C-alpha cells in the first residue's frame, strides 16, 4: 500500500507539472481551459491547471512567416492544363510569375491567429493571388515585364491587407516580393528579341536626347557670344558717336567764337573737310593725280573713275 501511495503522489506531481509552461521572449501564450481562452500571457513562467484541462499554445510573434505561390520554375509540369502562376495580361499575353508574401502575427490579435492558424497561409495566398491576377489583367505585357517587380510589391501588400481584413486571421502583411517574372519558355526567345529591340530604341532615344542637349548648349553658347559681340559693337558705336558729337559741338563752339575774329574761318573748315575727303578717296583708289595719266600723246582720262588701288 505504501508503494501505491508513493506512485499516486508522483503521478499527482507529474500531472501538476504539466500545468507549467515557459513562454520565451518573442512569444505570446494563448491558454485555453476546456477549450475557452482564459489568458494570453507574455514571456515568463505560466502556472495553470494540469494537461487535459489547460492547453497552452506558444506563438512566436516576432517571427516573419512566408507564403509562396504562383509559378515554380524548379518543377517541371507536363500537364496540358495551365500551370500555376501563368496569368493572362491585358493585351492577351501569357506570363509566368511567382510571388512571396511575408507576414507576422499581430501581437494584439494573437487569439484570432491561434483560432485560424491552420488556414492562414492558404487564405493569404488566395487573397494575394486574386490581387495579382487583377493587376496583371489590367496591364500590357510590357508594363508587367518591365515594371512588375517595382510596382507589384506595394500593390500586393496594400490590397491583400484589405482583402484579408474580414477573415480575422490575426496577422499583419509585412512585405511582398516578385521572385519570378518571365514570359513562358515557348515564347521567351521572341520576348528577348523584343526586349533587345526596345533597349536599342531606348539607347537611340537617349543618344538623340544627348545630341539635342549638346546642340542646345552649343546654340546657347553661340547666342551668348553673339549677344556679347553685339553689345560690345553697340557700345563702341555709341562711344564713337558720342565722341564725334562732342567733337562737332566743340568745333561749332569754336566756329561761333572765331568767326567774329576771322570771317574766313568757315571757308578754312570747309577746305579742311574737303582735304580729308580727298585723302580718303585717294587711299581707297577713287581719286588720283592727273600727272599719273600723262603720256607721250597727252592726257588720258578715258578711264573714270579710276580703278581702286591694290592694298
DSSP string, the chain: -HHHHHHHHHHHHHHHHTTEEEE-TTEEEEEEETTEEEE---SEEEE-PPBTTEEEEEEETTPPEEEEEE--TTS----SSPPTTEEE-TTS-EEEEEEEEEEEE-GGGHHHHHHHHHHHHHHHHHHHHHHHHHHHHTS-HHHHHHHHHHHHHHHHHHHHHHHHGGGT--EEEEEEEEEEEE--GGGHHHHHHHHHHHHHHHHHHHHHHHHHHHHHHHHHHHHHHHHHHHHHHHHHHHHHHHHHHHHHHHHHHHHHHHTTT-TTHHHHHHHHHHHHHHHHHHHTTS---GGGGEETTEE---S-SPPPPP-
Query: Is position 266 within any domain?
Result: no
**Dist CA 86 CA 132 (whole Å):** 11
Domain CATH code at residue 134 = 3.30.479.30
- End-to-end distance of the chain based on CA atoms, in angstroms? 148
Query: Which of 258, 284, 300 is the last residue before a domain boundary?
Result: 258
Cell numbers that stand for 85 in this block: 502562376
Long-range contacts of 189-198 (CB under 8 A, 24+ apart): 191/141, 191/145, 195/145, 198/142
Please indicate, yes or no, whether residues 36 and 56 belong to a single structural domain of this protein: yes
Please indicate, yes or no, whether residues 35 and 80 belong to a single structural domain of this protein: no
Domain that holds residue 124: 65-183
Query: Is position 295 within any domain?
Result: no
Mean per-residue pLDDT pooled into runs of 10, the chain (311 residues): 61 56 83 82 75 79 92 67 83 90 93 90 94 94 88 95 93 94 76 79 92 93 93 93 89 75 71 76 64 59 53 50
Number of structural domains the chain divides into:
3
Q: What is residue 64's predicted lDDT score, i.e. its pLDDT?
A: 93
Please indicate, yes or no, whether residues 143 and 40 belong to a single structural domain of this protein: no
Of the candidates 244, 265, 247, the one whose C-alpha atom is nearest the C-alpha of residue 256 is 265
Q: What is residue 141's predicted lDDT score, i.e. its pLDDT?
A: 86
Query: Is position 267 within any domain?
Result: no
Please indicate, yes or no, whether residues 19 and 37 belong to a single structural domain of this protein: yes
Please indicate, yes or no, whether residues 33 and 120 belong to a single structural domain of this protein: no
Query: Is position 265 within any domain?
Result: no
Query: Is position 110 within any domain?
Result: yes
Q: What is residue 152's predicted lDDT score, i.e. its pLDDT?
A: 94
Amino acid at each position: 500500500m505504501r508503494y501505491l501511495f508513493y506512485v499516486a503522489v508522483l503521478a499527482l506531481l507529474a500531472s501538476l507539472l504539466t500545468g507549467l509552461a515557459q513562454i520565451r521572449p518573442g512569444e505570446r501564450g494563448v491558454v485555453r481551459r476546456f477549450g475557452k481562452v482564459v489568458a494570453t500571457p507574455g514571456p515568463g513562467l505560466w502556472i495553470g491547471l494540469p494537461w487535459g484541462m489547460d492547453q497552452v499554445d506558444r506563438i512566436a510573434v516576432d517571427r516573419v512567416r512566408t507564403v509562396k505561390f504562383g509559378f515554380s520554375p524548379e518543377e517541371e509540369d507536363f500537364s496540358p492544363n495551365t500551370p500555376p502562376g501563368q496569368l493572362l495580361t491585358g493585351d492577351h499575353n501569357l506570363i509566368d510569375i511567382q510571388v512571396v508574401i511575408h507576414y507576422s502575427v499581430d501581437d494584439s490579435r494573437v487569439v484570432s491567429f491561434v483560432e485560424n492558424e491552420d488556414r492562414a497561409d492558404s487564405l493569404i495566398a488566395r487573397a494575394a493571388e486574386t490581387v495579382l491576377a487583377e493587376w496583371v489583367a489590367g496591364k500590357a505585357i510590357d508594363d508587367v515585364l518591365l515594371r512588375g517587380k517595382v510596382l507589384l510589391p506595394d500593390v500586393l501588400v496594400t490590397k491583400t491587407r484589405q482583402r484579408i481584413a474580414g477573415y480575422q486571421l490575426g496577422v499583419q502583411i509585412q512585405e511582398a516580393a516578385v521572385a519570378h517574372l518571365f514570359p513562358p519558355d515557348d515564347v521567351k526567345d521572341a520576348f528577348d528579341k523584343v526586349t533587345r529591340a526596345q533597349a536599342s530604341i531606348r539607347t537611340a532615344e537617349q543618344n538623340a536626347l544627348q545630341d539635342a542637349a549638346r546642340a542646345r548648349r552649343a546654340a546657347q553658347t553661340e547666342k551668348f557670344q553673339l549677344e556679347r559681340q553685339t553689345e560690345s559693337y553697340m557700345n563702341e558705336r555709341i562711344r564713337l558717336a558720342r565722341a564725334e558729337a562732342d567733337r562737332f559741338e566743340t568745333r561749332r563752339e569754336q566756329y561761333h567764337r572765331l568767326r567774329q575774329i576771322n570771317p574766313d574761318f568757315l571757308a578754312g573748315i570747309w577746305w579742311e573737310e574737303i582735304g580729308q575727303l580727298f585723302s580718303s578717296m585717294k587711299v581707297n583708289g577713287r581719286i588720283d593725280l592727273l600727272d599719273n595719266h600723262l603720256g607721250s600723246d597727252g592726257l588720258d582720262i578715258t578711264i573714270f573713275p579710276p580703278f581702286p588701288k591694290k592694298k
